[in-house]
A and B are shown apart, each in its own frame.
Chain A
């Protein structure tokens, strides 16, 4: 089955720790994205990547970092510099920037 997987589903961390969220896709999509969703708000773009070894900042990139070493994988690191990291993180992919996004099941991160 083609799709996007994210792990883990729930993640708990102490303040001051970096944490890495996994995202893998087998849809053969070139573009991948990370979004953040907070209660009552729309999705906000953190980072995106159109091709391997290239990525661009989205609207709220501060405190986050990404890598794109393989087409299938686009991990997101939430660093201790991110002021309000508790949120629902969604990874997505698409054939290209112009096309609809397909989302993974998300990771709920709680930082205390």
Chain B
């Protein structure tokens, strides 16, 4: 089983749609979680951290489910500018403390 697994998509949605991505992780000792956004041929940029109680930043909501070992990202009211690859990132705990593992990414295309 991969350490971090994402559905690669692509997800094609119309403007204004709500879309959700899930990401599963295998290390139950994982300590922290992030979502990054990566535009085509650019560097990844931090979108948001994921907190145990869930957190929201404008149209974006992140959730963590430790029991099932997955995190999710919900995007409401999608904009054309949301088109990008979304990377799930997990910071392992235990003996792998501090190691960030990146998922392969989920491609999102928002169309008019």
A interface, CB within 8 angstroms of B: 35, 40-43, 45, 88, 90, 96-98, 100-106, 108
Contact = CB atoms under 8 A, between A and B. Distances in A.
Contacts of B104: 40-42
Contacts of B46: 100-102
A97 B101 CA distance: 12
A46 B94 CA distance: 21
Interface stretch (B37-45, B57-65, B67-75): B37-45
Given A97-B97, A103-B44, 17 more contacts: A41-B104, A42-B87, A42-B101, A42-B103, A43-B102, A45-B99, A96-B98, A98-B31, A98-B98, A100-B34, A101-B100, A102-B46, A103-B45, A104-B43, A105-B42, A105-B43, A108-B41
A97 B31 CA distance: 12
A101 to B, nearest CB: 6
10 contacts: A41-B104, A42-B4, A42-B87, A43-B102, A96-B98, A98-B31, A100-B34, A102-B46, A103-B45, A106-B43
A42 to B, nearest CB: 4
| Residue among B8, B31, B102, B104 having the largest count of chain A Cβ atoms under 10 Å | B102
Interface of B: 4, 8, 31-32, 34, 41-46, 49, 87, 89, 91, 97-105
A96 B98 CA distance: 8
Contact of A98 (B87, B91, B102, B105): B91
